[in-house]
Every structure is written in structure tokens, then in C-alpha cells.
Amino acid sequence: MTSRRLTQRGRDRRRQLMDFAAHRFADNGFHPTSVAEIVQGMGVGKGVFYWYFASKEELFLEILKEAQHELRRVQQQALGDEPDPVRRIELGIRASLTWLAEHRHLFSVFQFAAADERFSPAMRRGQDVAVGDVVRHVKEAIVSGRVRDTDPLVMTHAILGVTNNLARTFIFERGDDAEQVADEAVEFCLHGLLGLG
């Protein structure tokens, strides 16, 4: 149930369930992962699941929300008080890729959430926050004259597209080093194909 009073023991169980389930979801997707599978994998009875979560859906949403929140926290922390907006964008890209590399299963969770009608609203909400963060830096960079004057929203989504796709392809599927991928992502976002680097 939502907001149940939990002891330390309870909070630990809840954590275990969320972590374990997140990995199963990442491997199989939401629908193919059954509650029975989750509780069996943890070696507990089914009642445990429904003691901590109202439904499978709620559990997924909790995992999603927490992951989004955590990613944003890491991004914000990476920015520090960097004054240069272009550099802030770069730092955000780097922080995101590093975090995603360390939490690949949560990247998968994002993918599923984005695809599934049931979760896309929640996904969108988090995405909008991220867009809001980046778009602010882009606007500032345009004002400062460092970036050419084009629709900042387009630029932001282009940056996120590059970041996500490079993460998926090179970090996930090929297992490349996050730092290196980050270098290339930043390079492309700043200069495109033709720029002189």
C-alpha cells in the first residue's frame, strides 16, 4: 500500500524488492515479468509483494520515479556553479552518460516506460524536467552569443537524442567506456558533422 508505516526491516525489504524487480523489468520488460517471478526470485511469499506495493504497476512507477530523480540529482550535482552555459551542457552530458553506464538496467527501464502507454505520462513528466534544465543553459548560451540563434527547444531535444542514442548503442550494446562516449557526444553536439572541432 502507499505510504505504509515501515520499520527499518520493512524499508530494507522494500529496497530489495525494488532493486530486484528493476533488474527483472530491465531484462524482460514489464508485462512478461510476473509478480510470481519476482517473489520466487527473492525467495519470499507473494503476500510480501502486496504488503509493500499496491500493484505491479505501482512498483514500476516507483522504480521509474526514483531513477529519474536520482539521475537528475547527479546531473545537478555535476554542474556545481559552473558559470559557462556551454560548459554546463557538456558537464550534464558527461554526468548523464557516466550514471547511465553505472545503472544500465535503469536505462532499460526508461526505454520500457517510454514505450508503454501506461507509463509514458510519468516518463514524459521526468523528461520535461530534464528538457527544462537543458533548455535553460541553451538559451543562456544563445544570449551570450556563444551558440547560434536557433530554437533552443530543438537544440535541447537534439542533444538529448544524441546522448540517448550514443548511450544505448555504445555504452549498452557494445560496452564502451562512458568517458570516451561522452567525449564524442559532446564533440558532435558542439560541432556537428562539419565543424572544425
Partner DNA sequence: CCTGTTCTTGACCCTCCGGTCAAGTGATGC
Partner DNA sequence: GCATCACTTGACCGGAGGGTCAAGAACAGG
Cβ proximity to its own copies, 53 vs 170, nearer residue: 170
Does 191 engage in binding with its own copies (CB under 8 A)?
Answer: yes
Residues 111-170, interacting with DNA (CB under 7 A): none
Closest to 128 in 3D by CA, of 120, 138, 118: 120
At residue 58's C-alpha, the angle toward residues 68 and 35, to 5°, is: 115
CA atoms within 13 A on the CB side of 150: 8
φ/ψ of 6, rounded to 5, equals -120, 145
Verify binding: residue 41, DNA, rule CB under 7 A. Answer: no
| Angle between helical axes of 8-28 and 35-42 (0-180°, round to 10) | 120
Residue 46 vs 73, nearer CB to DNA: 46
Q: Residue 10: what residue type?
A: G
Sorted by sequence, the CB contacts under 8 Å of residue 3 that are 6+ apart come out as: none
Indicate whether 117 belongs to the interface with its own copies (CB under 8 A): yes
Q: Which is nearer to its own copies, 52 or 155 (CB)?
A: 155
Which 32-61 positions form the footprint of its own copies (CB under 8 A)? 32
What's the min distance (Å) between Cβ of 9 and its own copies? 34
- Compute the least distance from the CB of residue 41 to DNA, in Å: 12
Are 138 and 156 in contact by the 8 Å Cβ rule? The answer is yes
Cell match 500500500: residue?
A: 1
Residue 145 found at the interface with its own copies (CB under 8 A): no
Residues of this chain, 1-30, that bind DNA according to CB under 7 A = 4-7, 9-11, 13
3 state DSSP class of 13: helix
DSSP H or E run through 177:
none
Cα–Cα distance, 190 to 197 (Å, whole number): 8
Contact residue for its own copies among 86, 98, 100, 123 (CB under 8 A): 86
Q: 15, 19, 27, 34: which one contacts DNA (CB under 7 A)?
A: 34
Q: Using CB under 8 A, which of the segments 1-9, 61-69, 94-102, 141-149 binds its own copies?
A: 141-149
Binding site for its own copies (CB under 8 A): 27-29, 31-32, 86, 89, 111-112, 114-117, 138, 141, 146-148, 150-151, 154-155, 157-166, 169-170, 184-185, 187-197
